[in-house]
Amino acid sequence: MEVVLLPTPEECARVVADAVAGSVLGALAGGGPLVLGLATGSSPLLAYRELLRRRHQEGLSFTGVQAFLLDEYVGLPAGHPESYRAVIRRELTDELGLDPAAVHGPDGASGDPLQAALDYEAQLLAAGPVAVQVLGIGANGHLGFNEPGSSLASRTRVKTLTEQTRIDNARFFGDDVDAVPRHVITQGLGTILRAEHLVLVATGVGKAEAVAAAVEGPLTASCPGSVLQLHPHVTLVVDDAAGSRLARATHYRYVLRHKLAEQGW
Ligand code: GLP
């Protein structure tokens, strides 16, 4: 995988935005629709702001884009402000000009979440491959909501969150851990691997261990992020703090300095 190690989160955001914008422009040039995979969480927020800036100041158009979310809480009523569908609309897609009907996610409010997970997997398959999937990583190495121990071949399904993830995410629920749902529907690791290009962004020292385990550790379900090692096109964008535990950091910087212009993202 390509490890892009940059001094600041702002520089990371520009690279993520470049990768997404490149796919959007490529799809438009080819006359085809674009399936964009979006992650929630704080990691991609600066990149989303950069995409919004490009839309407003440079006329980058997202017309025709279909967006698919990675995951969703089970049990929050539709439209709940912390449901991931509501979050992504608020943080990105409304201002990008995407019709809410073009923003898809698992139906966490369904009375039958197991079926809702199967339905979402089918919907993803029918939409065609995700051209570019934006990812964050949890401090424990989770991707989407695939907690450690998740099958590396998993499909979209209902999962139970670790207590640590609920504690981490309580900040979005007024610091009330009890308000964080216990269950989620998440794309599986095998589902995520179907995307054509995976772009993971991680910033801050809190992610350093997870990033090192994902990039340089063994391929193991104990670190779901390590599944990226199986994918042919991964761009892992990290700031110096998140990359501080990478043993080959010097080499990654060397590669980046000597990247050929035609290599792109
Ligand atoms: C969450 C999300 C993931 C996200 C991760 C990291 O709980 N389900 O999609 O990548 O945790 O979150 P953050 O970017 O806020 O650190």
Confidence of residue 28 (pLDDT cuts 50, 70, 90): confident
pTM over 0.95: yes
pLDDT in tens, 53-108: 999 999 999 999 999 999 999 999 988 999 999 999 999 999 999 999 999 999 99
CA dist 55 and 39 (Å) reads: 19
Residue 247 in this model has a pLDDT that exceeds 80: yes
List the structure tokens of 235.
Answer: 């761009």
| Residues contacting 36, CB < 8 A, separation 6+ | 20, 23, 24, 65, 66, 67, 68, 130, 131, 132, 134
Nearest CA to ligand 1 atom 6: 138
Q: Measured from the CA of 165, which atom of ligand 1 is nearest?
A: 7
Determine the distance separating the centroid of ligand 1 and the alpha carbon of 113, expressed in angstroms.
21
> CB–CB of 155/191 below 8 Å?
yes
Ligand 1 pocket check: which of 146, 162, 168, 228 to mutate, most ligand atoms within 8 Å of Cβ? Answer: 168
Confidence of residue 29 (pLDDT cuts 50, 70, 90): confident
> CB–CB of 63/33 below 8 Å?
no
pLDDT in tens, 176-203: 999 999 999 999 999 999 999 999 999 9
Ligand 1 pocket check: which of 16, 38, 40 to mutate, most ligand atoms within 8 Å of Cβ? Answer: 40
pLDDT in tens, 144-178: 999 999 999 999 999 999 999 999 999 999 999 99
Residue 263 in this model has a pLDDT that exceeds 90: yes
List the structure tokens of 123.
Answer: 């919907």
Q: Does the C-beta of 124 come closer than 6 Å to ligand 1?
A: no
The mean pLDDT value for 195-217 works out to 98
Instruction: Work out the number of other CB atoms within 10 angstroms of the CB of residue 57.
Output: 8
Determine the distance separating the centroid of ligand 1 and the alpha carbon of 29, expressed in angstroms.
32
Q: Does the C-beta of 133 come closer than 6 Å to ligand 1?
A: no
Q: Does the C-beta of 41 come closer than 6 Å to ligand 1?
A: yes
Ligand 1 pocket check: which of 85, 135, 142 to mutate, most ligand atoms within 8 Å of Cβ? Answer: 142
The mean pLDDT value for 129-149 works out to 96
Q: Measured from the CA of 84, which atom of ligand 1 is nearest?
A: 8
Q: What is the DSSP string of 124-170?
A: HHHH---SEEEE---TTS-BTTB-TT--TT--SEEEEPPHHHHHHHG
List the structure tokens of 52.
Answer: 């919004």
CA dist 248 and 100 (Å) reads: 42
- How far from the centroid of its chain's Cα atoms is residue 93's Cα? 15
